Chain A
């Protein structure tokens, strides 16, 4: 079964810290990996998209990396702020039985404490 796993399920850190969120996937036949942010009761907002040919993407204080060989992606958040508090989900576009399928992790709920 193709799976995407995010550990930990919840993370709480003081404001100003740098932090890393993890995303693991079981299949190296990946097209791309996307990181999303979800605020409570809201839809998902795309943060970064990494192609399978890329190793990382950056946007402001966010940096996402992709290592296909180990089946891992990380989202690095620098100088965290209370406004970064949200649930972060990763989604891998995989090839499953010859068809493309977007598989989501369960998310990491991040709390930044002032």
Chain B
């Protein structure tokens, strides 16, 4: 079945440690996104990518990094510079970034907790 796969579902990070969240899609979508969701709040955009080997910062990119070496994959690294990383992370994709009429599809999310 076509869709977006995020892994791991749950991840624990120690202070000062970098961790990477995986996002893979088999929808043949050009655009991919990473969002952060805190309890009781809406989604905030971290990074997005419109095509392979290109990505742009979103509203809260500090402390995060991404890569887009393949169309299907858009991993997110939460670095030690991110001071409050505990949150629910959602990966999404669409046929084209922000294009008129394009539905955006989401993965099941990854929970990151700092211990």
Report A's interface with B, CB cutoff 8 A: 4, 9, 31-32, 34, 36, 41-46, 49, 51, 89, 91, 93, 100-102, 104-107
Contacts and interface: CB of A to CB of B under 8 A. Distances in A.
A46 B109 contact: no
Contacts, number: 54
Interface residues of B, number: 23
Contact of B106 (A32, A43, A93, A100): A43
Interface stretch (B14-22, B78-86, B93-101): B93-101
12 contacts: A4-B42, A31-B100, A41-B109, A41-B111, A43-B90, A51-B100, A93-B98, A100-B97, A104-B42, A104-B44, A106-B40, A107-B42
Contacts of A31: 98, 100
Interface of B: 4, 6, 40-45, 88, 90, 92, 97-98, 100-101, 103-109, 111
Contacts of A43: 4, 6, 90, 106-109
B29 to A, nearest CB: 13
Interface centre among A43, A45, A46, A89 (most CB of B within 10 A): A43
Given A43-B4, A49-B103, 15 more contacts: A4-B42, A34-B103, A41-B111, A43-B90, A44-B90, A44-B92, A44-B106, A46-B104, A46-B105, A51-B100, A51-B101, A89-B43, A91-B43, A100-B98, A104-B44
